[in-house]
Amino acid sequence: MNDYLVKAVAYQNQVRAYAVNSTTTVAEAQRRHAAWPTAADALGRSITAGVILGAMLKGDEKLSVKINGGGPLGTIIVDSNAKGEVRGYVSNPQTDFEMNEVGKAVGTNGLLTVSKDVGLMHPFVGQIPLISGEIGEDYTSYLSKSEQTASAVRVGVLVNSDYTVKAAGGFIIQLMPGADEDVMKIIEERVKVIAPLSSMIAKGTTPEQILEHILGSDHVTVLESMPVQFQCQCSMDRISNAIISLGSEEIQDMIQTDGHAEANCHFCNETYHFDTEHLEALKRAAL
């Protein structure tokens, strides 16, 4: 089944809620980066929360999340937009801990940074110190401290014994300013006792049902449902243009030294090969 995200409101618009099944998206990230379980979990959680944050944007707006906790995973980067497209990578995908300790792998000695491109000259940048490196808690802290929105974030990934991804998903519930304290309490209690997201999704629970579990089916109004997918912006054309911009001398140097060139995209781990003939054409274009 294809991944999708739902946007909803509840309790007379006092609550805004998002839930996503990101299984296929996270599975593709794991496969592309050959990520080991703990790395796949950390990257998958980051991608899942990132795609929900992206869904809060409008039109051509986009955002980039950087998580760098000083742990063995290195840096996690996630790009997402308002169209449900997301891509991401982690510096050291071949990282695994027996007990799948995501917090330990990410580390807490660092920052979560969100950079939003909303079409202005400068991006809007929000940054918080990492709380636990467990990702969900860190995004919660970002939303409350940097965006002043009381939020509950849960993200989860279930990895199979062969390292493929069995299930991934998450939700973000936000209280609008002036929301009733009673509503706040009800949601806090429900979020506390909810089953792990990844096992709910593995059992076939839909994003709509996840929100109904937390908010109560009488209270939720689903506004929109949108597809979500791993989508990189790289292409042969883009990489070719990057090579052309190096200039004809540099390209001539590549031809003479190796006779070919390779370029790898960090985000999707796609490798682009350029043979001599292709490089000659790019050199002519650079003249």
Could you list the residues that contact Zn ion (CB under 5 A)? Answer: 232, 234, 265, 267-268, 270
Name the one residue in this structure whose structure tokens are 């794991």. Answer: 30
**Would you say 255 or 261 has its CB closer to Zn ion?**
261
25-29 contact pairs (CB < 8 A, 24+): 25/51, 25/86, 25/168, 25/228, 25/229, 25/230, 26/157, 26/165, 26/168, 27/164, 27/165, 27/168, 28/229, 28/230, 29/87, 29/88, 29/89, 29/230
**Would you say 153 or 268 has its CB closer to Zn ion?**
268
CB of 238 vs Zn ion, minimal distance in Å: 9
**Would you say 61 or 270 has its CB closer to Zn ion?**
270
CB of 143 vs Zn ion, minimal distance in Å: 28
DSSP string, 138-175: HHHHHHHHTS---EEEEEEEEE-TTS-EEEEEEEEEEE
CB of 272 vs Zn ion, minimal distance in Å: 9
**Would you say 179 or 268 has its CB closer to Zn ion?**
268
CB of 265 vs Zn ion, minimal distance in Å: 3
CB of 67 vs Zn ion, minimal distance in Å: 19
CB of 29 vs Zn ion, minimal distance in Å: 12
Residues 57/37, Cβ–Cβ less than 8 Å:
no
d(CA 266, CA 259): 23
Residue type, 79: D
d(CA 3, CA 32): 17
What is the 8-class DSSP label of residue 275? -
Please provide the distance, in angstroms rounded to a whole number, between the alpha carbons at the two ends of the chain: 49
Helix (H) / strand (E) element for 226: namely: strand 220-227
**Would you say 77 or 183 has its CB closer to Zn ion?**
77
**Would you say 17 or 265 has its CB closer to Zn ion?**
265
CB of 14 vs Zn ion, minimal distance in Å: 40
**Would you say 85 or 96 has its CB closer to Zn ion?**
85
Residues 40/226, Cβ–Cβ less than 8 Å:
no
